[in-house]
């Protein structure tokens, strides 16, 4: 069955080359993509590999390389340098992750080419990929900021009700944008308070809880707004555009990003901003990290553990309660209270502030003479 057409989806990147040459780039690329589909790779994965390999094939064609057998290690290294020096329309370079994502499909493609004897040996086997940076999320919303964004849509209009429902679902479940665009009417179980996410990342299904407020907005959308958007009565996709077709991922990203910008919070982001926010706020609220892992659909808990670094509130509480400087300060204040002297505002010599600078804090003696005129000392 052909995939549903979604508004805002870009057509596949055209590939330069001879479509009749059995050993040419175009024919062997299509065979490789068919091989991926036959092994039940997610269509999103196939599309990404097709796009990135098309970029390489078009780059190679300009340089007179028309067949995989003509690709050498030097050609791949030259392409890698091209990616490093490439500048986007905004004059920004490709991130190391973007460079990594474009080079990785070359490895798998040439591995397949070697196995099927289209090339003599795998020139990409030991191609060194850029090291990925493990960065924390750029922005995370507070609870009040999340509520501000969610309240941006104009709910007096059908599209506003739809958009409010979308924001509520993202905030309540933390699902990915591709998972939200794929939601069907029958995936929402209001009685059990759950949503079935089908064929998520890694082609895995999972069921996640959803809050009552989000369910209420979904109910309002399906009863009042969705019927006004529906064109094909047999369409079962939950969220539709004004033209009655399922939302494309890029369309959804622009939609959510627009509301984040309109909230005027000084923060940027889109669907993943709500994913980060949900995980961080729930972790700060005391949720077990294994529950967060199940909610987000992470295969490896190490991916989820990034939110333990983002969630600083609990770390600050533990730091304040257990740091030895606090015990020393309380002991010192207790001694001063017993001696009848008021607590001094100066930091203790054993405090982290003093120890970090190497300065020694000397308390004034009760009978010591203090020269109040020397204010510039």
Instruction: State both tokens at 142.
Output: 């507070």
Per the annotation, the verdict on 275 as an active-site residue is yes
Per the annotation, the verdict on 298 as an active-site residue is yes
Which one from 79, 171, 251, 307 is the annotated catalytic residue?
307
Closest CA to 250 of 16, 25, 10: 10
Which one from 102, 162, 164, 298 is the annotated catalytic residue?
298
Half-sphere exposure at residue 187, Cβ-oriented, CA atoms within 13 angstroms: 24
DSSP alpha helix (H) spans, 120-225: 143-150, 158-173, 177-181, 212-220
Which one from 272, 326, 329, 332 is the annotated catalytic residue?
272
Chain-centroid distance, C-alpha 328: 42
Task: Describe the chain by its helix, strand, coil percentages, rounded to 5.
Answer: 50, 5, 45
Per the annotation, the verdict on 319 as an active-site residue is no
Is residue 103 packed enough to be buried (19+ CB in 10 Å), middle (13-18) or exposed (0-12)? buried
Residue 348 CA: distances (Å) to CA of 13, 39, 56, 355: 66, 66, 63, 9
Per the annotation, the verdict on 360 as an active-site residue is no
Per the annotation, the verdict on 41 as an active-site residue is no
Burial track 121-160 (b if 16+ CB lie within 10 A, e otherwise): ebbbeebeebeeeeeebebbbeeebbebbbebbebeebbe
Give helix 96-115 / helix 43-62 axis angle, nearest 10°: 90
Which one from 100, 201, 267, 326 is the annotated catalytic residue?
201
Which one from 102, 118, 162, 275 is the annotated catalytic residue?
275
CB 123 within 8 A of CB 72: yes
Give helix 96-115 / helix 25-38 axis angle, nearest 10°: 90
Instruction: State both tokens at 348.
Output: 């203790």
Which one from 102, 118, 176, 276 is the annotated catalytic residue?
176
Spatial distance between the Cα atoms of 119 and 205, rounded to a whole number of angstroms: 38
Spatial distance between the Cα atoms of 255 and 269, rounded to a whole number of angstroms: 11
List, by residue number, the catalytic residues.
Answer: 176, 201, 272, 275, 298, 307
């Amino acid at each position: 069955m052909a995939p549903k057409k979604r508004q805002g989806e870009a057509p596949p990147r055209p590939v330069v080359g001879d479509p009749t040459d059995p050993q040419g780039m175009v024919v062997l690329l299509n065979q490789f993509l068919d091989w991926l589909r036959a092994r039940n790779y997610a269509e999103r994965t196939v599309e990404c590999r097709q796009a990135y390999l098309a970029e390489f094939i078009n780059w190679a064609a300009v340089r007179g390389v028309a067949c995989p057998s003509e690709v050498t290690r030097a050609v791949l290294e030259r392409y890698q340098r091209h990616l490093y020096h490439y500048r986007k329309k905004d004059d920004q370079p490709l991130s190391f992750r973007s460079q990594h994502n474009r080079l990785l499909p070359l490895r798998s493609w040439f591995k397949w080419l070697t196995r099927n004897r289209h090339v003599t040996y795998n020139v990409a086997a030991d191609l060194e990929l850029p090291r990925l940076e493990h960065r924390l999320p750029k922005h995370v919303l507070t609870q009040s900021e999340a509520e501000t964004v969610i309240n941006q849509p104009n709910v007096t209009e059908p599209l506003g009700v739809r958009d409010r429902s979308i924001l509520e679902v993202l905030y309540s479940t933390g699902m990915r944008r591709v998972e939200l665009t794929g939601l069907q009417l029958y995936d929402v179980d209001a009685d059990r308070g759950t949503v079935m996410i089908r064929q998520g990342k890694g082609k895995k299904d999972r069921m996640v809880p959803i809050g009552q407020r989000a369910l209420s907005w979904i109910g309002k959308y399906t009863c009042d707004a969705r019927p006004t958007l529906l064109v094909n009565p047999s369409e079962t996709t939950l969220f539709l555009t004004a033209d009655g077709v399922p939302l494309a991922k890029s369309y959804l990203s622009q939609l959510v990003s627009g509301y984040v910008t309109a909230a005027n919070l000084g923060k940027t982001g889109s669907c993943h901003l709500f994913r980060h926010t949900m995980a961080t706020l729930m972790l700060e609220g005391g949720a077990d990290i294994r529950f967060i892992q199940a909610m987000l659909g992470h295969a490896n808990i190490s991916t989820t553990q990034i939110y333990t670094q983002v969630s600083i509130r609990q770390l600050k509480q533990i730091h304040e309660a257990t740091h030895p400087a606090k015990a020393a300060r309380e002991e010192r204040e207790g001694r001063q209270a017993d001696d009848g002297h008021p607590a001094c505002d100066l930091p203790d010599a054993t405090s982290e502030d003093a120890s970090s600078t190497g300065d020694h804090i000397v308390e004034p003696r009760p009978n010591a003479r203090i020269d109040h005129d020397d204010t510039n000392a």
